[in-house]
């Protein structure tokens, strides 16, 4: 089965991620990543900034260099709400004109709602270059952040205000899966990735909960063409998470969810 992973992180110098992966025995390095991509026949992976404090465009040179080193890695450009002036807008425009496949914002990590005006020029740029905006949504990695900013309902307003911009709700807003699914159902321009429903190793109860949540969302929306597989590597091993999502997504939708939807949305 061909796979595109719509959500991974590749800042191998990030200490917080490193500490977690060491605990889990995951090889958080370019070599470790390449091994997992190869073993799981992952054709491309969308690489996202690891450090949410990095100024716009987050970890730009790192992601650009990695994309040149490993062509399966496709970068998206992160937006920090404190770095949004014309200078940053022009840097982001250059990135979108070049090899970057989309944008990402982090409402829960920055305590800034997605409908903050500082983000608007970037939503317009994304529409201009027909590239999606990924929005971190749902639980945060660490307890010091405020999840009220990461609730998926906050995305509805920008989805309506920017109908030409494609938005991807990361993690299907987990645990607010029903709210996120409603946005996918109601707004033609809203998609969801189904990464990080469990991190580390999947345990018995995880399978049942994840299956219930994801099947409910696909069923309710009737739109299997709008859900994208993503692992959130290195927070899980690709092989384990692929197995989890294979069980959770009905077989007849595997081709779309694991491959075709991401290929279409990211123009791969």
Tell me whether residue 16 or residue 186 sits nearer to Zn ion (CB atom): 16
Q: How many CA atoms lie within 13 A of 130 on its CB side?
A: 5
| 51 near Zn ion, judged by CB under 5 A | no
The region of 31-39, 146-154, 231-239, 257-265 touching Zn ion under the rule CB under 5 A is 231-239
Report the candidate in 130, 135, 83 with the shortest Cα–Cα distance to residue 113: 135
Q: How far is the CB of 134 from Zn ion (least distance, A)?
A: 9
How far apart are the C-alpha atoms of 157 and 117, rounded to whole Å? 12
Q: How far is the CB of 230 from Zn ion (least distance, A)?
A: 8
* Element holding 92 (H helix, E strand): helix 86-97
Residues with Cβ within 8 Å of 247's Cβ and at least 6 positions away in sequence, in order, are: 207, 210, 211
DSSP, res 210? H
Tell me whether residue 67 or residue 138 sits nearer to Zn ion (CB atom): 138
Compute the chain's Rg from CA coordinates. 17
Q: How far is the CB of 131 from Zn ion (least distance, A)?
A: 18
| 14 near Zn ion, judged by CB under 5 A | no
The region of 19-27, 67-75, 159-167, 227-235 touching Zn ion under the rule CB under 5 A is 227-235
| 232 near Zn ion, judged by CB under 5 A | yes
Q: Are 170 and 193 in contact (CB under 8 A)?
A: yes
Tell me whether residue 137 or residue 189 sits nearer to Zn ion (CB atom): 137
Q: How far is the CB of 196 from Zn ion (least distance, A)?
A: 6
How far apart are the C-alpha atoms of 234 and 29, rounded to whole Å? 9
Q: How far is the CB of 9 from Zn ion (least distance, A)?
A: 6
Q: How far is the CB of 232 from Zn ion (least distance, A)?
A: 4
20 C-beta neighbours (distance < 10 Å), count: 17
Tell me whether residue 36 or residue 232 sits nearer to Zn ion (CB atom): 232
Tell me whether residue 40 or residue 89 sits nearer to Zn ion (CB atom): 40
Q: Are 78 and 52 in contact (CB under 8 A)?
A: yes
Binding mask 148-177 for Zn ion (x = CB under 5 A): ------------------------------
Tell me whether residue 156 or residue 232 sits nearer to Zn ion (CB atom): 232
* For the chain, counts of helices (H) and of strands (E): 12, 9
**Binding residues for Zn ion (CB under 5 A):** 232
């Amino acid at each position: 089965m061909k796979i595109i992973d719509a959500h991974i992180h590749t800042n191998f110098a990030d200490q917080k991620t490193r500490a977690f992966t060491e605990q889990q025995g995951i090889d958080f390095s370019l070599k470790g990543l390449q091994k997992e991509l190869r073993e799981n026949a992952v054709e491309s992976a969308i690489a996202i900034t690891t450090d949410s404090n990095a100024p716009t465009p987050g970890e730009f040179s790192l992601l650009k260099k990695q994309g040149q080193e490993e062509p399966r890695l496709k970068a998206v450009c992160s937006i920090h709400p404190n770095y949004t002036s014309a200078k940053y807008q022009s840097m982001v425009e250059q990135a979108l004109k070049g090899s970057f496949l989309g944008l990402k914002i982090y409402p829960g990590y920055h305590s800034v709602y997605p409908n903050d005006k500082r983000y608007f020029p970037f939503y317009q740029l994304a529409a201009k270059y027909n590239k999606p905006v990924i929005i971190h949504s749902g639980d945060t990695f660490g307890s010091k952040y405020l999840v009220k900013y990461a609730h998926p309902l906050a995305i509805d307003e920008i989805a309506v205000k920017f109908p030409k911009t494609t938005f991807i709700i990361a993690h299907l807003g987990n645990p607010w899966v029903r709210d996120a699914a409603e946005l996918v159902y109601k707004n033609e321009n809203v998609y969801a990735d189904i990464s990080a429903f469990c991190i580390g190793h999947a345990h018995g109860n995880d399978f049942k909960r994840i299956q219930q949540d994801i099947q409910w969302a696909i069923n309710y929306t009737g739109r299997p063409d709008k859900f994208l597989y993503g692992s959130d590597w290195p927070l899980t091993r690709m092989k384990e998470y692929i197995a989890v999502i294979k069980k959770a997504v009905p077989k007849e939708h595997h081709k779309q969810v694991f491959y075709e939807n991401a290929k279409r949305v990211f123009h791969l």
